[in-house]
Amino acid sequence: MAAAGLRKGNARLPPEVNRVLYVRNLPFNISSEEMYDIFGKYGAIRQIRLGNAKDTRGTAYVVYEDIYDAKNAVDHLSGFNVANRYLIVLYYQPAKMSKKSDIKKKEDEITRLQEKYGIGSKTPGPGSSD
């Protein structure tokens, strides 16, 4: 027990380190058993969610019980070859994931409003200082 306390006490982790990993570039036919075999080597896993929709295939979320196990998995599995595909293993960052969709939503809303009010955004108006 003391060793675990030392391990946690002496290592400051970067802020992006997280127990949840986002995995990309997986073979589409990978099974959850294979995922547990690959990722389970680095520690106890709470959950694995494989993407199964058309736009999420080849991705997964892996949730570890311990943040240090997740860090170890990222360090060792980024670039790991599975069925001739090199895994991309990242820390899940909800802020970054939602920012992309928020930006797209805002752009769509701006386009919709511009069309509604007949405002063109491509060319600057006569009073602009561009």
For the domain that residue 71 is a member of, what is the CATH number? 3.30.70.330
Task: Report yes or no on 116 lying in a domain.
Answer: no
Give the per-residue pLDDT at 93.
86
Nearest-angstrom CA–CA distance, 79 and 85: 9
Give the per-residue pLDDT at 111.
83
Give the per-residue pLDDT at 40.
97
Task: Report yes or no on 73 lying in a domain.
Answer: yes
User: Residue 53 sits in which domain range?
Assistant: 15-93
Give the per-residue pLDDT at 119.
76
Residue 33: C-alpha distances to residues 19, 47, 87, 115 (Å): 20, 12, 17, 50
Give the per-residue pLDDT at 4.
47
pLDDT 10s per residue in the chain (130 long)? 444 444 455 567 888 889 999 999 999 999 999 999 999 999 999 999 999 998 899 999 999 999 999 999 999 999 999 999 999 999 998 776 666 667 777 788 888 888 888 876 555 555 555 4
Give the per-residue pLDDT at 99.
62
Tell me the three state secondary structure of residue 112: helix
Give the per-residue pLDDT at 98.
63
Task: Report yes or no on 81 lying in a domain.
Answer: yes
Q: Which residues, in sequence order, are CB contacts of 69 under 8 Å at separation 6+?
A: 42, 43, 44
Give the per-residue pLDDT at 3.
45
Could you tell me which of 20, 74, 17 has the C-alpha nearest to residue 42? Answer: 74
Structurally, how many domains does the chain consist of?
A: 1
Task: Report yes or no on 4 lying in a domain.
Answer: no
Task: Report yes or no on 56 lying in a domain.
Answer: yes
Give the per-residue pLDDT at 5.
45
Give the per-residue pLDDT at 45.
97
User: What pTM does this model have?
Assistant: 0.66
Task: Report yes or no on 20 lying in a domain.
Answer: yes
